[in-house]
Structure 1
Amino acid sequence: MSTTNFKHDLFNQFARVGKALASGNRLELLEFIAQGERSVDELSKVAGLTMANTSQHLQQLRQAGLVATRKQGLKVYYRLSGDDVIRLLDALRVVAERHVADVERLVNTYLTVKDSLEPIPRAELLSRVRDGLVTVLDVRPAEEYAAGHVPGAVNIPISELEQRLEELGKGQEIVAYCRGPHCVLAFDAVARLREKGLKARRLEDGYPEWLAEGLPVEHQEETKKDA
């Protein structure tokens, strides 16, 4: 095989990954899977897709090596094939933010208007958590929180936030996070908390990026044992 043919074949294999990422639905499914292992029917519900459509997208992600599966009874569960998939999605986001004008327009229109303050970096949040200086708020659904969360985080889904404000630390700054840097749930949480006169900021990204960085995490089972 000539060097030219080798390079051509190699790039074609790289393109398989690019093709798998070339769908907004598949990117969103990857974000959901990055929160924790999910079955096809769970992913179908959270993504708002039919079971058949969800299965087709998942098969393409699997063929590109981006997700792995396990079978339990009649159900098939999907998980990311590695933390490097999270870093790939993060790189895609950064490139799009820097070079695609429509991304900046969408972020400014839907997110920045709710919170224009600089988010808190991961390392700074971890340090402040260890010193007991902040209350960390996880606004994802309960099943995502149970699969893994930032140590000490309080789980209050955004729909329950205003009814459960008393569960948040009084007088402490609150740092909210959800599925990723563009997750509207964290922006909404910060906006609502500030309306109530509370000091609130966002984490710079979300749980998947925290996990991929190798930072400590907790699971609901562990939290219950400690209690």
Structure 2
Amino acid sequence: MKKRELKNLLYEQVARIGKAVSSPKRLELMELLAQGEKTVETLTSELSIDIKLASAHLKALRDARLVESRRDGKYVVYRLSGDDVAHLWVTLRLVAEEHLVELQLALQRMVASPDTLAQVGRADLLEQARRGEVIVIDVRPQDEYDAAHIPFARSMPLAEIERRLKGLPKTRDIVAYCRGPFCMLSDEALKLLSGKGYRVTKMLDGVAEWQAAGMPVERSPGV
């Protein structure tokens, strides 16, 4: 094989990844699967698209070896093919945030009040949570928490917060997190808890961002 042909082949192979992640819905699929494996039906519901379209997007990701699937009874379950794929999503988002003013403005609209953001670094937050000085709550669904979560975080899915308020003392600061900067579950938790008189902020990190920064995560027993 000639050198030019070889170089063309090399770049073509890398371009397969670029083509696979060139769809907004596929990026959202990557973000969701970074939380843990999910069935096609769950992904379809989360993305508000039909199964046929979801399957087509998943096929494109699978053809690029970014996701894998397994059968569980009558369901097909998808997962990322490695932690590096979750890191790829985080890296793409960070580059976009750095260079695209439109994305920066959109994110600013999501965080209308900067004082609702936790002002502590990752290592300090982890140490404060370890000492019990702050309560970190994971407001994602339970299965995502089980797959991986920030150490010392409590699982408190958004749908269950209101009936579990007795377990949250008002004497300590609370930090909520969900799937990352584009996730709005923590915003809803923030609104609910602050309305009940809790001192609560949110952090933009999800588990994928936390891991990409080299921070440790924990998994529930049996996962």
- The answer to whether TM tops 0.5 is yes
TM-score using structure 1 length: 0.86
Asked if 1:161 is matched to 2:166, the reply is no
Question: Is 2:223 aligned against 1:219?
Answer: no
CA separation in 2, counterparts of 1:77 and 1:32?
13
Q: Is contact 1:135-1:169 (8 Å) kept?
A: no
CA RMSD after TM alignment: 2.2
* Paired residues for 1:1-227 under 5 Å: 1-109=1-109, 111-116=110-115, 118-119=117-118, 120-212=120-212, 213=214, 215-219=216-220
1:64-112 Cα shifts (integer Å, max 9, x gaps): 1111122233322111111111111111111111111210121112x12
Distance in 1 (CA, whole Å) between partners of 2:113 and 2:165 is 19
Higher mean C-alpha displacement, 129-138 vs 184-193: 184-193
Q: C-alpha distance in 1, partners of 2:30/2:84?
A: 12
**Further displaced range: 16-25 or 68-77:** 68-77
Unpaired segments ≥5 residues, structure 2 = none
CA distance, structure 1, for counterparts of residue 156 and residue 67 of structure 2: 29
In the alignment, the residues of structure 1 paired with residue 49 and residue 8 of structure 2 have an alpha-carbon distance, to the nearest angstrom, of: 36
Measured in 2, the distance between the counterparts of 1:142 and 1:114 equals 28
Give TM-score, length-normalised by structure 2: 0.87
- Alpha-carbon separation, structure 2, partners of 1:14 and 1:221: 36
Note if contact 2:136-2:153 (Cα within 8 Å) is conserved in structure 1.
yes
Task: Deviation per CA, 1:129-163: give whole Å up to 9, x if none.
Answer: 22121111111123322333223323333344344
In the alignment, is the contact (CA less than 8 A) between 2:33 and 2:78 conserved in 1?
Answer: yes
Runs of 5+ unmatched residues, structure 1: 223-227
Quickly say closer, same or farther: Cα 1:114–1:219, change in 2 above 3 A.
farther
CA distance in 2, matches of 1:215, 1:21: 27
Q: Name the CA distance, whole Å, in 1 between partners of 2:73 and 2:202.
A: 40
- Residue aligned with 1:201, SS: strand
Cα-to-partner distance string for 1:152-201 (whole Å, 9 max, x where unaligned):
32333334434433221331111111011221222332344334432222
Q: State whether residues 114 and 191 of structure 1, in contact with CA within 8 Å, keep that contact through their aligned partners in structure 2.
A: no
Q: Displacement of 1:125 after TM fit?
A: 2.1
Distance 1:220 1:54 in 2: 31
Shift of the alpha carbon at 1:37? 0.9
In structure 2, do the counterparts of structure 1 residues 95 and 216 end up closer, same or farther at CA, with 3 Å as the change threshold?
closer
> How many residues are paired up?
221
With 167-176 and 208-217 compared, the bigger mean Cα shift is at 208-217
Partners of 2:117 and 2:203 within 8 A in 1: no
